[in-house]
Amino acid sequence: MKNIEKTFLLLLVILLGTSCTVQFDRYYNNQVSEFPNEFIGKYRFISSKKNHSDTTYIYISKDSLVYHDKMFLNSGKLGKNFILSKGKKLYYFCQKDTFKQSVTWAVYPLKLTKNNLIVYVLDAEHYKKYFNKHFEIIDSKNDLYKMNEKAFDKLCDKKLSKKNSIKFLKIE
């Protein structure tokens, strides 16, 4: 699979919250009520694949993150289903889900560079060894773990992979 196809697949993971993303029993505990000013804006991901015109936008305001795609629109106002937390160095966008009638959370580390928003996807296969070693397993078959802020910060400080990230260019 070519890199752009992998990137697009990872984007779909974020947009659709599929099961190959690691899930936690709760969100990262250091909740904040608003996005910092430097995050606010409009971001664009464009596939560089020839003859592929899909464009995906992310809009961030003080209290919401909105994904916009030609085929999919999902808004997330910070609150009950979407939580923004602040880690040691990064912010974490936490999205509520349900699994076997229990609440679970997908947690996406966010990194802001000069003109880019980088969203890391915690792919279960790529990070499995780390998670199995540093997090308590609730359901290994479904990649569900107990949240551990200290281990999560360590993962984000040292182990995040660029190949498991999606870069969005800030356009406004």
Render pLDDT for 31-63 as a digit per residue (tens, 0 to 9).
Answer: 999 999 999 999 988 665 555 556 788 899 999
Kindly report whether the global pTM for this prediction surpasses the value 0.85: no
pLDDT at 19: 46
pLDDT at 20: 74
- Is the separation of the CB atoms in 78 and 62 below 8 Å? no
Residue 165, Cβ neighbours under 10 Å: how many? Answer: 16
Task: Provide DSSP, 115-161.
Answer: SEEEEE--BHHHHHHHHHHHS-EEEGGGTEE---HHHHHHHHHHT--
Please write the tens of the pLDDT for every residue from 81-90. 999 999 999 9
- Taking CA atoms, 83 is separated from 37, 71, 96, in Å, by 17, 25, 8
Please write the tens of the pLDDT for every residue from 89-115. 999 999 898 877 889 999 999 999 988
Residue 58, Cβ neighbours under 10 Å: how many? Answer: 21
Q: Domains, the chain, ranges and CATH?
A: 3-170 (2.40.128)
Q: How far is CA 23 from the centre of its chain?
A: 11
pLDDT at 16: 45
